[in-house]
Amino acid sequence: MKKIVFLDGDGTLWYPKLTRRKKAPHWIYSDPVTSKDPNNHLVLTPSSLRVLKRLKQMGVKLAVLSIVPHPKREAQKILARRVSHFGLTEYFDEVYPVQEDPDAKGKLIETVLRREGIPKSKALMVGDSYVYDYKSAMKRGIPAVLIYWESYGAPEARKVKRRIKHLYEAFKYIK
C-alpha cells in the first residue's frame, strides 16, 4: 500500500463551476470576472471529499501540490486558503504551492520523500496535467496516475496506460 499520495489541486480536487472539465482549469485565475475571488468560482470534483476521507482512514499521508505563480509566502497563503475554503485542511498533512515549471512537482515530491524516508515506490502522484503532474513524477521514477479529460488533455496523455476518469479510480493504484 502507498504511504503518501500527492494530489494536484486545479482539475483534480477542484475545478471552475462554469466550465467543469471542458476547459483547462487555470483560466479562472486570469479571467477578469473570476480572478478577483477564484475560490468562489471553484467547486470540488465529485468524489474528492469521499476519497480524502477514505485515504485518511487508511492512514495514508496526503499532500496537495498546486501551481500558484506568486512569491513563496503569498503562494502558501493562497493555497492554504483554498484548501480551507473547501473544508479540506484536516485531510492534508502538507500543502505545497509550486511555481509554473514542468519539473517543479517532481522535484518537490523527491525532496519530501527523502525528508520523510519514504521510498518512491510507496508514493503516488495523482493529477490531471500530463506535463506538470504525470510526466514530472514519472521522469523521477515516482509512480503517477493521470486523470484524463479529452476536452483539454495533452496529445501525449492519450498514450498513458495509468489513466483514470474519476479520482476514486486511483484506489486501484494505492492498495
pLDDT digits (tens, 9 = 90+) for 50-95: 999 999 999 999 999 999 988 999 999 999 999 999 999 999 999 9
Look up residue 169 and give its three cell numbers: 479510480
CB 170 within 8 A of CB 124: yes
- The per-residue pLDDT for range 138-170, each reduced to its tens digit, is 999 999 999 987 656 677 888 899 999 999 999
pLDDT at 43: 93
13 C-beta neighbours (distance < 10 Å), count: 27
Burial of 67: CB neighbours in 10 Å, binned 0-12, 13-18, 19+: buried
pLDDT of 151: 57
pLDDT (tens digit, 9 = 90+) per residue, 122-138? 999 999 999 999 999 99
Domains and CATH numbers, the chain: 4-174 (3.40.50.1000)
* pLDDT surpassing 60 at residue 19: yes
Determine how β-strand 144-147 pairs with β-strand 163-164.
parallel
Q: What angle do CA 64, 66, 67 make, to 5 degrees?
A: 165
Lowest mean pLDDT among 29-33, 37-41, 64-68, 84-88: 29-33
CA dihedral 147, 152, 156, 159 (to 10 degrees): 50
How confident is the model at residue 166, as a pLDDT?
92
Task: Look at phi and psi of residue 152 and say left if phi exceeds 0, alpha if psi is from -120 to 50, else beta.
Answer: alpha
| Residue (of 70, 93, 109, 98) closest to 10 by Cα position | 98
